[in-house]
Amino acid sequence: MGGTRGGFLVNVIARCRELAQLIAEADPPPLTIMEVCGTHSHEIARYGLAQLLPDQVRLISGPGCPVCVTADGDLDAIVQIAQQGAIIATFGDMVRVPGPRGSLADARAAGADVRVLYSPMQSLEVARQNPDREVVLLGIGFETTAPSIAVTISDAAGEDLKNFSVHCAHKLIPPAMAALVEDPECRIDAFLCPGHVSTIIGTQAYDFLAEDYNIACAVAGFGPSDIMEAIYAIVGQIKGATSYVHNAYTRAVQVEGNTVAQAQMAALFEVADAEWRGLGTIPASGLRIGDEYAVFDARNRYELEPPIERDPGPCICGDVLQGKALPADCPAFGSACTPQSPIGPCMVSSEGSCAAVFKYQRQQG
């Protein structure tokens, strides 16, 4: 195979097949496993892992893509800030998510200044180079990105950057997982717990799901065999009628997580209720900038028009996300809601359940 053949490791491939065999031999009962991490969704699609699993083991994509679950209120505010002339500094995939006033890409086409970053620290450089303009960094993401945004704000405060602020729409994953399983109709039997997020919050963050809700949990890494290992561990819990948090990503994740990063988040942010696209408002599921750093909160700097309320119409993403409905059950699917003009998070994300089904059907048709 060699380095010029994509660098796929032979032992990873063999281990995937071995795990597929073990899972099939375990002959689990019908089982729905939800992943709540965009990269897991991506890797599952990239390697076609669902095809390795017995029919009764169903994988569904939860609210794991941070740009996809960003609510209309935030999208509306961000686009308004861009339209008011601030430089918007953002991670790339936020650019094309459509809000009530269009996407950042639309705003950019109309003259707004939108800069795509690879590290939030680059936003400080943009602010230094444009001292006469306001720079607004978009704080989008889960526990993985929040610490780096916290450090960025802290650095901005350290050098007293006056033209820098953050629109903070960070979200916390465990409260969303709890909201999903609290619904009595929820069909989720197990969570494939996120990898990057877990490096920050540790496996302990999911204990309550196993203990209070009897949901099997396994923290997974990002290689195909990592994900298969975690699924095999979940199948073991289901077969044994037990639930706990299995750590299948021990090379990066510890029980207590990254306490330094947790401290950075605690110093900058306060936990707040947050609105999730497709799921509505979930208590204590988001972060806002704490009072000490309020001067860096873009919400305090811009006079914005009230958000345009969009009727989600017949969108049933909430049900799809909870495993209660299939994309095809949604009356908007493929008509009012398409990847080019998505309504709910399942269509916004290229790996979302609805987007995946839409693309596959269209290409076959």
Partner 1 sequence: MLTTHLPPADAGHPPPPSDTEGGKKDRRDAYPTICNGVAVWGGRLSEAPALQKTLIRRAKASRIMNAGKNSETINLGHGSGGAMMQELIAQELLPALPGQSPQALEDAATISIAADRLAFTTDSFTVQPLVFPGGDIGTLAVHGTINDLAMRGATPRFLSLGLIIEEGLALELLRQIIKSIGAAAREADVNIVTGDTKVVGHGSADGIFINTAGIGECGAHVPSVTAAQPGDKVLVSGTLGDHGIAVMVAREALEISADLRSDTAALHTLVAAMLEAGGKAVHTLRDLTRGGLAAALNEIAASSGVGVLAEATAIPMRPEVGSACEILGLSPYAVANEGKLVAMVEPGAADDVLQAMQSHPLGRDACVIGEVISESPGMVQLQTPIGTRRVLELPAGELLPRIC
Token representation of residue 355: 């987007």
Pattern of binders to partner 1 over 162-201, x per CB under 8 A?
----------------------------------x-----
Among 25, 48, 251, 303, contact with partner 1 (rule: CB under 8 A): 48
Three-class secondary structure of residue 65 per DSSP: coil
Which one of the spans 33-41, 72-80, 152-160, 301-309 is the region binding partner 1 (CB under 8 A)?
A: 33-41
Choice between 95 and 190, CB closer to partner 1? 95
Which one of the spans 5-13, 26-34, 127-135, 322-330 is the region binding partner 1 (CB under 8 A)?
A: 5-13
Choice between 28 and 194, CB closer to partner 1? 194
- CB–CB of 82/114 below 8 Å? yes
Among 23, 34, 52, 112, contact with partner 1 (rule: CB under 8 A): 52
- By CB under 8 A, residue 96 contacts partner 1: yes
Provide the minimum distance between the beta carbon of 365 and partner 1 in the complex, in angstroms, as a whole number: 9
For the segment 209-238, give every residue that binds partner 1 (CB under 8 A): 224
φ/ψ (deg, to 5) at 315 = -55, 130
Provide the minimum distance between the beta carbon of 224 and partner 1 in the complex, in angstroms, as a whole number: 6
Three-class secondary structure of residue 108 per DSSP: helix
For the segment 11-30, give every residue that binds partner 1 (CB under 8 A): 12-13, 16-17
- By CB under 8 A, residue 360 contacts partner 1: yes
Choice between 186 and 228, CB closer to partner 1? 228
- CB–CB of 313/332 below 8 Å? yes
Beta-sheet strand order (sheet of 135-139): 113-117, 87-91, 135-139, 164-168
Burial class (CB in 10 A: 0-12, 13-18, 19+), 210: buried
- CB–CB of 145/172 below 8 Å? no
Choice between 7 and 184, CB closer to partner 1? 7
Pattern of binders to partner 1 over 339-358, x per CB under 8 A?
x----------x--------
- By CB under 8 A, residue 87 contacts partner 1: no
- By CB under 8 A, residue 67 contacts partner 1: yes
Contacts from 130-133 at CB under 8 Å and sequence distance 24+? Answer: 130/87, 130/163, 131/163, 132/163, 133/85, 133/86, 133/87, 133/163
Provide the minimum distance between the beta carbon of 149 and partner 1 in the complex, in angstroms, as a whole number: 12
Radius of gyration of the chain (CA): 21
Place of tokens 């599921």: 285
* CA atoms within 13 Å, Cβ hemisphere of 90: 27
Three-class secondary structure of residue 337 per DSSP: strand
Interface residue list for partner 1 (CB under 8 A): 1, 3-8, 12-13, 16-17, 37-39, 42, 45-49, 51-52, 64-67, 91-96, 105, 116, 118, 140-142, 144-145, 196, 224, 339, 350, 359-360, 363-364
